[in-house]
Amino acid sequence: MLRLTDIKLPLDHSSSALKQEVIRKLELQDGELLELTIFKRSYDARKSDSIFLIYSVDVALTTAAEARCLEQFAGQGFVKPSPDMDYKFVTEKPADFPQGKQQRPVIIGFGPCGILAALLLAQMGLKPIVIERGQDVRQRTKDTWGLWRDRALNVESNVQYGEGGAGTFSDGKLYTQIKDPKFYGRKVITEFIKAGAPEEILFVSKPHIGTFKLVKMMENIRADIIALGGEIRFGEKLEHLNIVDQQVEGLTLSSGEVIKTKHVILAIGHSARDTFQNLLDSGVYIEAKPFSVGLRIEHPQSVIDKARFGDNAGNEILGAADYKLVHHCKDGRSVYSFCMCPGGTVVSAVSEPGMLVINGMSEYSRNERNANSAIVVDVNPEQDYPEHPLAGIDLQRQLEEKAYQMGGENYNAPVQLVGDFLADKVSEKLGSVTPSYKPGVTLSDLSQLLPDFAVKAIREAIPEFNKQIKGFSMHDAILTGVETRTSSPICIKRDKISFNSINIKGLYPAGEGAGYAGGILSAGVDGIKVAEALAIHLLS
């Protein structure tokens, strides 16, 4: 097959237009085009009055036509042989593999990274054991709504902990900027589709799933892992890694049970703060790493749609508009939008009592009234928290405790109108934008919540963002605090080839919590990489 890129068509093109354009560009004769599959569809909205769809397609041609096209368009860049994107297992457990030779690999955490690692190991016949401190996705959903509706926090089953990880209660975004020469991301998306995700996530440029679809998907993937001999234990927490002479020999659970194993994948997510401390105490090498803190901003989705799409706002193919913004401040700080949720809501993402932290979430339809996004400022160990490897967690907790107090110590979130924040004025009443956060909000002075450098940076950035998104700095838009868990504040260093911890053999740090991913797709990809490394070592 051949891959043909950069095919531009108008938004309202006919159902036959794509095929006709392929035939025209490749100068094909009748009968030479045998099959056409869309590989990627995106849009160019740089000019809101002239928006185009951009396609990349894979085409099957007759043998003669394919040879002619490769010769005729050689060097022009828009026609190349289609790469082989099918996943190839690096190894497979032999049928006669001695039962006593292996101790089953253990995976700590059942978010996107742990799920893909477990699925891959199960598909290779290695029957992994998964330890997840939270609950299965159905119970976890009930527990999470218990906070959002009734202000009741379950510290072991919430937005951060449980089947599916933190990404389950988010927009379900599946795009990433990681380099992926082996098409591991394709493997992740293919498995998601098999589990019930919309087939369009295979080709749209910014695929998303939405929370409620993710719930059913997680259940289906779990069933596949169990059917292949895997074991998943909910409500179990890693208490201690058993390490002898710098080698993992097993682990102790909070129940007191000891599991013997020499292979542990650590896929715990970015909020397992007590586990980070346990690992540090056990001698695992950990470094502090940069992350970001800030606020969530909410606008009417119609304002964002109009600014991005002009008269094309509301077009079904375009859907709810998103944005991605970056501003480099005069003092060297960077401010950027993060986890933008079109047609979504702002939600509580608390996992510890006496604290308040927020996130954004969308359903698949993205049809809620408001758009929201984090507006965050980079912080770094050298400049902002140089004390010790877990000092970034200390900073997060300080901000979350302050947000909890400002909200009224009842899980209300502190909010302020954008216009008042920019004018350094306390908001006295809400305007035309209704905050989506539940269970409730408290009008506050958010300049008292964030560090001074962050307040200064965000005040500088919002007017600049308004130059790109008209209406971004509208007075009545809502700012909500606090956003602290953009990424993990630590990195558990690992070898680049074996994927082992640099000082503990048999420990495989993986995913977002260990500092090697930033979102659902990249975490799933990292889970595949680590599972492959473990399988090769185990079966060698």
| Tens-digit pLDDT profile for residues 496-515 | 999 999 999 999 999 999 99
Say if residue 102's pLDDT is above 80: no
Mean pLDDT in residue range 248-270: 96
The 10 Å CB-count burial string (b at 16+, else e) for 111-140 is bbbbbbbbbbbbbbbbbbbbbbbbbbbebb
What pLDDT digit, counting tens, does each position of 296-305 carry? Answer: 999 999 999 9
pTM of the model: 0.94
3-state SS assignment for residue 240: strand
* Mean pLDDT confidence for 99-127: 90
Is pLDDT above 90 for 55?
yes
DSSP 254: T
CA distances from 254 to 33, 50, 229, 517 (A): 61, 59, 24, 27
* 40 C-beta neighbours (distance < 10 Å), count: 15
pLDDT band at 208 (very low <50, low <70, confident <90, very high): confident
- Whether pLDDT at 178 is above 90: no
Least confident of 44-48, 285-289, 447-451, 457-461: 44-48
**Closest residue by Cα to residue 457 from 320, 368, 336:** 336
At 527 the pLDDT is 98
Pick the closest to residue 515 from 498, 504, 530, 537 (CA basis): 530
> Could you tell me the two tokens for 160?
């951060």
What the block records as the tokens of 62 is 């007759």
- Buried-state track 427-448, b at ≥16 Cβ within 10 A, e below 16: beeeeebebbbbbebebbebbe
pLDDT category, 100, cuts 50, 70, 90? low
CA atoms within 13 A on the CB side of 399: 25
Q: How many Å separate Cα 4 from the centre of its chain?
A: 29
Question: What is the average pLDDT across 186-211?
Answer: 90
| pLDDT band of 206, cuts 50, 70, 90 | confident
DSSP string covering 395-444: HHHHHHHHHHHHHTSSSPEEEEEHHHHHTT----S--SSPP--BS-EEE-
Of the listed ranges 197-201, 242-246, 247-251, 344-348, the least confidently predicted one is 197-201
| Rounded Cα distance, 481 and 400, in Å | 9
- Per-residue model confidence as pLDDT tens digits over 325-377: 999 999 999 999 999 999 999 999 999 999 999 999 988 889 999 999 999 99
**Identity at 80, one-letter amino acid code:** K
Burial class (CB in 10 A: 0-12, 13-18, 19+), 355: buried
Report d(CA 50, CA 403) in Å as an integer.
43
Please report the pLDDT score of residue 364 as a whole number: 82
Q: Considering the chain, what percentage of its residues have pLDDT values greater than 70?
A: 98
What amino acid occupies position 182? K
Q: Which residues contact residue 1 at a Cβ distance below 8 angstroms, ignoring those fewer than 6 apart? A: 35, 58, 59, 60, 81, 82
9 with 18: CB under 8 angstroms?
Answer: yes
At residue 410, does pLDDT exceed 60?
yes
Amino acid identity, position 298:
E
Q: What is the amino acid identity at position 490?
A: I
pLDDT number for residue 103:
82
β-strands 247-253, 413-417 pairing: unpaired
Give me the pLDDT at residue 99, please.
Answer: 58
Beta strands in 158-290, from DSSP E residues, in sequence order: 231-234, 238-244, 247-253, 258-260, 264-266, 287-288
Q: Are 9 and 52 in contact (CB under 8 A)?
A: yes
Confidence label for 96 from pLDDT (cuts 50, 70 and 90) = low
- Mean pLDDT for 310-333 is 94
Q: What sign has the CA pseudo-torsion 289, 118, 348, 135?
A: negative
